[in-house]
Amino acid sequence: KQEVTQIPAALSVPEGENLVLNCSFTDSAIYNLQWFRQDPGKGLTSLLLIQSSQREQTSGRLNASLDKSSGRSTLYIAASQPGDSATYLCAAAGDYKLSFGAGTTVTVRA
């Protein structure tokens, strides 16, 4: 059974600092890995999807890397802003199912 772990559980940084969010998974047989953002009281927003054959994906200030062999993915957010405050979830996809981490709650202080 896939186990997904996200560290740290919570993170507070001053505005402008770069964010590094970690995600690890136990079963490397994944199709892809996705990063989501969840705002309080709102749904999930898909941020980045990395296929198993890829090493990284970039979108604006976001960059996500994937190392299947070590079972790790990292989400980098450059030059953080208060609007980046949210919970970030990673999910590993295998056999049409997603296994989610518990998330990292980020607070960016103005």
Binding site for other proteins (CB under 8 A): 4, 31-32, 34, 36, 41-44, 46, 49, 51, 89, 91, 93, 96-103
CB-based contact 50:66 (threshold 8 Å): yes
Q: Which is nearer to other proteins, 3 or 15 (CB)?
A: 3
* In the complex, least distance from residue 16 CB atom to other proteins, rounded to whole angstroms: 28
* In the complex, least distance from residue 41 CB atom to other proteins, rounded to whole angstroms: 6
Q: Which is nearer to other proteins, 13 or 49 (CB)?
A: 49
* In the complex, least distance from residue 27 CB atom to other proteins, rounded to whole angstroms: 15
* In the complex, least distance from residue 87 CB atom to other proteins, rounded to whole angstroms: 9
Give the DSSP per-residue string, 22-81. Answer: EEEES----SEEEEEEE-TTS-EEEEEEEETT-SEEEETTEEEEEETTTTEEEEEESS--
d(CA 37, CA 69): 25
